[in-house]
Amino acid sequence: MSAIHQQLSEAVGNAFAALSLSAEFGLVSRSSRDGAAPFQCNGCMAAAKSAKSNPRELAARIATELKEHPLIASLEVAGPGFLNITPAPGLMASQANALSADVRTGASRVGDPKKIIIDFGGPNVAKPMHVGHLRSSVIGDALQRLLRFVGHDVVSDIHLGDWGLQMGQLITELQIEQPDLVYFDADFDGPWPIGSPVDIDDLSRMYPAASLACKSDPDRMDIARKATAELQAGRAGYRALLDHFIAVSIAALKVDFGNLGVHFDLWKGEAAVDPLIKPMVEKFKADGVTEMSQGALIIRVAEEGDKKELPPLILISGAGAALYATTDLATILDRVENIDPDIILYVVDLGQASHFEQVFRAAGKTGLFAQDGLEHIKFGTVNGKDGKRFRTRSGGVMRLSDLLGQANEAAMSRLSEAGLAAGMEAEEKAEIARMIGLAAIKFADLRNVRTTNYVFDIERFTEFEGKTGPYLLYAAVRMKSMLRKAKATGIGAGKIIPKAEAEKTLVLMLDHFDHALKGAANKRHPHILCEHLYELAQTFSKFYASCPVLSAESNEIQASRFNLVQTSLRQLETGLELLGIETPERM
């Protein structure tokens, strides 16, 4: 299905071609001016420049060419040569009914689908999820949903932080607490216990204690570093402990991510690619892309024309250790060998920009992966009202579970204040509050251009007015209520006949869905879809106020408006689902 602006672009493009000009000048877009015709074409200025003619005169000639066109009701020349276009009623009606008949309400699929890996979430083993994981999780999940919906083959990977010094710190902390565990017996070679000696609460307590002890005691740090080196060298007992740490952490993370409504295809971490590092490094050496510098093995990634100096990527440190960049390159190798993607997206905060620039350039330079197929999906920070990174009142990092709990409480208060969900059973009301709280958090994050910071304000996010998740949920619930009432009186969907201005405006908004989806998916910017859904809800509200369904003047108009409500609901719910937002049946 082609959207109205696409059909008009073809018609206007043909008019330019009839005058021996490029059809590309005929691009039609939604009008950006209130009160103007719904669509506009600004190509006459550029076309006139190439043809060395007057743009307004050229616009008049184009208008003459299109005077009797069946898709156009009126075409007006404005300003220095703008074309203001109003589509024909027949085009509006046919498009409205095509949208209502399409289960995707106009959303197209890409013609050239790609295999895409999305690397997001990135929590560390032994650490509970906190507010710092929110943006990567919410943005990454929205992108995986969006890209799948438009037709790409998507694989999501959590990329756990399960390697490095923190594992040595945990192992040595456990040894201090439980020195008699068999894992610390260097002469024991298994079999290892099936059950873990620690649970997630133990790990959550042990890690900060170990980290603090290592920072304050150099000898303690040396012990942790030695344990890390032995782990990475393959000491069996330490590897068995690592497997326990990972299993326990993943089980807890699945609960946290499940509460957030976020899911992954792969739960792999840095440890999984350790066997690939040595042969990968040897190949890089053989290919001549590495060199020694101050005892470290590096890959120079600086390029002529760089505006700022980019340090070389360190593959192996002077102490002989593989670093984060090394495991990132090994992870790319693993993905190439097992998945063979066309594109890999990394949903990681702006602070890692230099790191990923190094990794991407090194991947390209070594022939590991095409540099232009690697994308850093950057995002800003979540801040408190003081402008600093969002924290608890005591100054600590807020756990994600506590954040969701706050959202649920705020949502429950909003329901009571608004007189909604009154008379419902406690269980149903709690479920609605959960959906509202989650919608509030997710939409508040996704509605922003992802590269900007935003202030976390749960009171504002849970309001039922303004550009909020709860406002969109309320719009969906109101649509469902209207349809239930109409069905109860025997009204059903019929052919859409958009006559009133509010009906036409709603049809045009519904027709913009595909354009918004393409923008959000191609630019990796979910806020574009958020903006469309908010505008759709606002447009529907105006339709609702001026175009009654139950008291419409005829059965034909009732059925037409019923269909418009039904189509609007389908598109709104589809869009919200792509953002990872559930909609309740009632409030």
Phi, psi (rounded to 5 degrees) for 36: -85, 175
Lowest mean pLDDT among 144-148, 399-403, 435-439: 399-403
Give yes or no for a contact between 421 and 415, defined as CB atoms under 8 angstroms apart.
Answer: yes
What one-character-per-residue DSSP string does 514-549 give? HHHHHHHHHHT-THHHHHHHHHHHHHHHHHHHH--S
Which helix or strand (DSSP H or E) is residue 41 part of? Answer: strand 39-41
Alpha-carbon distance of 99 to 107, in angstroms, equals 9
The β-bridge relationship of strands 82-87 and 72-78 is: antiparallel
Which of 24, 23, 29 minimizes the C-alpha distance to 508?
Answer: 29
Over the stretch 338-393, which tens digit does the pLDDT of each residue have? 999 999 999 999 999 999 999 999 999 999 999 999 999 999 999 988 888 887 66
Neighbours of 401 (CB within 10 A): 16
Over the stretch 514-554, which tens digit does the pLDDT of each residue have? 999 999 999 999 999 999 999 999 999 999 999 999 999 99
| Token pair of 180 as six digits | 């008699």
Mean pLDDT, residues 212-220 taken together: 95
Alpha-carbon distance of 317 to 329, in angstroms, equals 15
Alpha-carbon distance of 96 to 115, in angstroms, equals 33
Half-sphere exposure of 552 (CA within 13 A, CB side): 22
Mean pLDDT, residues 545-564 taken together: 95
- What was the pLDDT predicted at 393? 63
Mean pLDDT, residues 304-315 taken together: 93
CA distances from 561 to 130, 500, 506, 574 (A): 46, 11, 11, 20
- Enter the DSSP assignment of 193: P
Mean pLDDT, residues 441-454 taken together: 96
Alpha-carbon distance of 450 to 528, in angstroms, equals 11
Domains parsed from the chain with CATH numbers: 4-87 (3.30.1360.70), 165-266 (no CATH), 271-377 (no CATH)
Cis omega (within 30 of 0) for bond into 208: no
119: β partners: 157, 346
Which of 541, 486, 496, 492 minimizes the C-alpha distance to 100?
Answer: 496
Mean pLDDT, residues 551-561 taken together: 95
Residue 362 C-alpha from the chain's centroid: 26
Average pLDDT of the residues of the chain: 94
Which helix or strand (DSSP H or E) is residue 63 part of? Answer: helix 55-65
Give yes or no for a contact between 436 and 416, defined as CB atoms under 8 angstroms apart.
Answer: no
Alpha-carbon distance of 16 to 14, in angstroms, equals 5
- What was the pLDDT predicted at 159? 95
- Enter the DSSP assignment of 36: S
Report pTM: 0.94
Over the stretch 68-96, which tens digit does the pLDDT of each residue have? 999 999 999 999 999 999 999 999 999 99
